[in-house]
Amino acid sequence: MTLATSYILVAEDERGQAEILKYNLEEEGFRVGVAPDGQRALDMIGEAVPDLLVLDWMLPEVSGIKIMKKLRSGSDTKTLPVIMLTARGEEDDRLRGFEVGVDDYVVKPYLPSELIARVHAVLRRSRPELEEENIEYGGIELDLTRMRVTRDGAPIDLASTEFRLLRALMSHPGRVYSRNRLIDLAWGSTTYLEDRTVDVAIKRLRSALNEGGKADLIRTVRSEGYALE
């Protein structure tokens, strides 16, 4: 098992937000469960303790703080990593959250990429034994924690954007990623970027990967996007 195959439970009653989060976490390779209220969250944790809980602080049935108190007093869940979601301006919630043992927090509204970065950081902190994480495809190896890349054992120098592009493509070889999706995954922002920005970054990624005349593994899918194969 690696960090990226960890099971994440999202306790969030706003359905749209829960779905966006589930989609983005699954894109990262996580397994994801969604609990629409506090009681359901406790029930699901009772069935299978997740590797990390994303906990909306304002939940129906059982509130975030009550859930935390329950988790911290249970032997299986005493150290379960928790990231809480709080509303902007609710400083008191954050303080109380830390008092009852949350590991980190994200303020709504947030970008999925921001939350995912926190998830990785908290998991890494809580599961240092999983820190050695590599993904490999077609002779290309990514060391996700050190952000290093090799092809057939030879190091490849990539800027961080190209690294994230490659990580996205390598997470699902064969899948065609649209330019918009790649912008979300590699730039992690909702700001407007032209498609051409993606094309230029892919070009740089290609030339770095293919140095020395190696086969091109990135496929351009006309008017769709890019895939690794």
Residue 51 or 56 having the CB closest to Ca ion: 56
Residue 55 or 168 having the CB closest to Ca ion: 55
Whole-number minimum distance, CB 57 to Ca ion, in Å? 7
Residue 56 or 184 having the CB closest to Ca ion: 56
8 A C-beta contact, residue 168 and residue 187:
no
Residue 35 or 156 having the CB closest to Ca ion: 35
Residue 13 or 27 having the CB closest to Ca ion: 13
The dihedral sign for the CA sequence 10, 15, 16, 19? positive
8 A C-beta contact, residue 51 and residue 127:
yes
The dihedral sign for the CA sequence 17, 68, 59, 37? positive
- Pick out residues in 35-74 that bind Ca ion (CB under 5 A): 56, 58
Is residue 13 a contact residue for Ca ion (CB under 5 A)?
yes
Q: Helices 195-209 and 160-171 sit at what angle, rounded to 10 degrees? A: 90
Whole-number minimum distance, CB 109 to Ca ion, in Å? 12
Number of residues that bind Ca ion (CB under 5 A): 3
**Is 30 strand, coil or helix?**
coil
Is residue 106 a contact residue for Ca ion (CB under 5 A)?
no
User: Phi-psi bin for 215: left (phi > 0), alpha (psi -120 to 50), beta?
Assistant: beta
Is residue 103 a contact residue for Ca ion (CB under 5 A)?
no
Residues that bind Ca ion (CB under 5 A): 13, 56, 58
